[in-house]
Amino acid sequence: MSPLVRSRYLLLSPHEYRTQAGERVCLGYSTITARVFSVSPRTARLLETGDLAELSQDVRDDLARREILVPPQDELGPVLEGIRDTSARPGLRGFTIMPTAYCNMACSYCGQEHRKGSLRQERMERMIARVLAAISDPGTGHVEVTWFGGEPLLGFRTIVEMSGRFLPAAARHDTRYSAAIITNGSLLDERRVDVLYGECGVRAIQVTLDGAADTHDRRRKMKNGRRTFGKIVALLSSVLAAGNHPQLRFDIRVNVDAENQDDIPGLLQTLAAHGLGHPSVDLDLMPVHSWGNDVSDVELTPAGYAEREAEWLALARSLGLRFRLLPTRRRSTTCLATTRNGELLDPSGAVYSCSEHPLVPRDRDSGVLATLDDLATTALRPAGMFDTWYDEIEQDRWPCARCPFLPVCGGSCPKLWHDGAPPCPSYKFNWRQRLDLAAQSKGLVRCD
């Protein structure tokens, strides 16, 4: 039997920590299993130096069981094959549906072009037929619908009408159905939350807050001049306090750039003060990047953003706010654009594979794969420009082939790589600080 070697998908913290019993340990993170683990300082040193023969048999067996030590092999191939297999698995179908291409905001950093116009009945029926065909397919076990825009709540009646066809069909065919909505939050109220939850099967709502009140309202301007921060925060607080939607999760996205980075601590304190350190709320800090527009004047460098983010996450933890510290599962597919089981349908009847195409003038026409008029109702969408993503990684066209985070990242965003804007997640640059936070959550104290 060949000797075991250290997995290329292993990261070890450079720090030691002390348990409550006084024992010293080191923490590591395996992206193959997406788990944080602890080992003795001696084991950590031997893993770092490669002197694995010095490990006892019991320790080697334990590390092998946790896939920290693996047989000498090309680990990249199996990782990519696993993502390919799950991406192609027909049991899950995903539909991102745009009931409108218009937005009632004019955000300063947005590169999208929004067009007025409602979804015509004929096109809506074709969309409905396409989703119903997936629901009724015996090979489909789960259908996911994401309501997207523009601002999808401008098409609220359309969402309700289409959902009223999807949910009964899913029940008849015993197909699991789940829905989410990505909204700017300006049109949310308690009645709409009730309807989205009770009549539309929505179990996840993403809203965006870009700083405390004044900063948010300046950056995310309403076209009618109204302020939205106070309304959104009050609505979230009220819905959570009422507790009438036990399965509903809120994701608070914060788009961060040079203009609002100093305001993030104030936002976190405000969220905590309004009771949003709640088990049903996740905080999602994201650096601003180009949507086909020039954001170079405000865009933060990846390393600079990650350094500041580590401070914000420490503050968020101290305030009781919840966030994903490190990925806890491997990627089943990178994104909508890397699986033909996923597609985006826009109000004009165009079918896309990438959510950043339909509203970006540069990509709107070139990204169209088909139309609802010419695509058979039961057919998967045609192949798009990013369906060869895993082949490109395997051919070493992108740094992802050599990155230890590939199993949990999947390459993040093929479009941005092709645009020359590396989209590496911030945890690639601040994973050590994140492991410090993981240690704190386990009751460990860092030994400096």
* Per-residue pLDDT at 1: 45
- Asked if pLDDT for residue 293 goes beyond 60, the answer is no
Give residue-wise pLDDT tens across range 41-66: 999 999 999 999 999 999 999 999 99
* Per-residue pLDDT at 119: 84
What percent of the chain clears pLDDT 90, i.e. is strictly above it? 89
Give residue-wise pLDDT tens across range 383-431: 999 999 999 999 999 999 999 999 999 999 999 999 899 999 999 999 9
Give residue-wise pLDDT tens across range 74-102: 999 999 999 999 999 989 999 999 999 99
Secondary structure element (H or E) that encloses residue 304, with its range = helix 302-318
Residue ranges of domains in the chain: 5-74+429-447, 75-428
pTM above 0.85, yes or no: yes
How many angstroms separate the CA atoms of 222 and 239, rounded?
A: 23
Average pLDDT over residues 272-283: 98
Residue type, 201: G
How many angstroms separate the CA atoms of 414 and 441, rounded?
A: 34
* Per-residue pLDDT at 288: 87
Give residue-wise pLDDT tens across range 259-275: 999 999 999 999 999 99
CATH code 3.40.50.10490 for 75-428: no
**Residue 173: alpha-carbon gap to chain centroid:** 29
Q: The tokens 């594979």 sit on which residue?
A: 353
How many angstroms separate the CA atoms of 127 and 150, rounded?
A: 18
**pLDDT confidence band for 290 (50 / 70 / 90):** low
How high is the mean pLDDT of the chain? 94
DSSP letters along 61-123, please? HHHHHTTSEE-SS-SHHHHHHHHHHHHH-TTEEEEEE-SBS--SB--TT--------BPPHHH
* Per-residue pLDDT at 175: 98
Q: Which of 114-118, 137-141, 236-240, 421-425 has the lowest mean pLDDT?
A: 114-118
What percent of the chain clears pLDDT 70, i.e. is strictly above it? 98
* Per-residue pLDDT at 292: 58
Give residue-wise pLDDT tens across range 205-221: 999 999 999 999 999 99
297, with CB counted inside 10 A (0-12, 13-18, 19+), is exposed
